[in-house]
Amino acid sequence: MVILGIDPGFGRIGYGIIEKSGVKEWKAVDYGCIETPLENDFVDRLSEIYSTLNHLIKKHKPARMAVEELFFFKNVKTAIKVGQARGVILLAGVENGLEIDEFTPLQVKQAVTGYGRAEKKQMQKMVAVILGIKKKIKSDDAADALAVALCAGQSLWVKRVARGV
């Protein structure tokens, strides 16, 4: 099982790809950020997000995509742009036949740390520990995307246990 986790945005989009390596164990396959240049037109930035995600999906062949839901924005204009980027992200997943999971930040923190109000540093540390990543994950967005993917993995495990599989 390979899962692609996404921390949505339009200037920086975190991605994290994890693969099941045991009954409940996961390992990081790839992670980083898709960065779109500020000077590009917004539509061109959306196109770049879409094509880069398609490339990542074809390269790693995930079965699922997990995307963080929008939580709260003070700036409505930014929220609308992130929402549009999120739509492009979801479209890339659907068009590539991926199962789509969506999680709130609270759900992601709960799944990774056991505490829904965990600080960013706690999250990064737990993501690294769970996935066996030795060096510091440089990008907050990539760490968040790995956390979203882990949340999807946990969710699948819970669903299987509930079904008795």
Q: What is the pLDDT of residues 110-138, one digit of tens each?
A: 999 999 889 989 999 999 999 999 998 98
CA separation for the pair 6, 36 (Å, rounded): 15
Q: How confident is the model at residue 78 (pLDDT cuts 50, 70, 90)?
A: confident
**Residues labelled as active-site residues:** 7, 68, 141
- Residues in CB range of 151: below 8 A, 6 or more apart: 5, 66, 101, 103, 107, 108, 111, 112
Domains of the chain: 2-163 (3.30.420.10)
This prediction's pTM: 0.93
CA separation for the pair 119, 95 (Å, rounded): 34
Residue 142, pLDDT > 60, answer yes
